[in-house]
Amino acid sequence: MKTTTRRRLLYLTLPLLVVLHGDFWWWHDASTLLGLPIGLSYHILFCLAVSLVMWGLVESGLSTGSESESIPADTDTNRRPPS
């Protein structure tokens, strides 16, 4: 998958994650999942999903390499030439 397509897809998931963060559908549910209340289990899984999306955004931002290519190796302009 192209980096720009991947980045756009990751950016489109951010509003979805914002909506899913308010888990109002489990506020009055007392059931358990993995031995924990369902709301807590949901937020654990939600945090893992958000972490994966953020990792993907960072990776897609770092994989362009534009910053490292645009910075010249010798940026010290006040240095005197060797004599």
pLDDT tens per residue, range 59-77: 887 766 555 555 555 566 6
Domain enclosing residue 37, as ranges: 13-61
Residue 52 lies in a domain: yes
Percent of the chain whose predicted confidence (pLDDT) is above 90: 16
In the DSSP assignment, the letter for residue 71 is: S
Residue 77 domain flag? no
* Total domain count, the chain: 1
19-27 contacts at long range (C-beta below 8 A, 24 or more positions apart): 20/46, 21/46
Q: Is residue 33 part of a domain?
A: yes
Using an 8 Å Cβ cutoff, are 10 and 56 in contact? yes
The per-residue pLDDT for 44 is 92
Instruction: Name, in order, each residue with C-beta under 8 angstroms of 1's C-beta and a sequence gap of 6 or more.
Output: 9
Closest CA to 54 of 1, 7, 5: 7
Domain contains 78: no
Q: Do the domain assignments include residue 80?
A: no
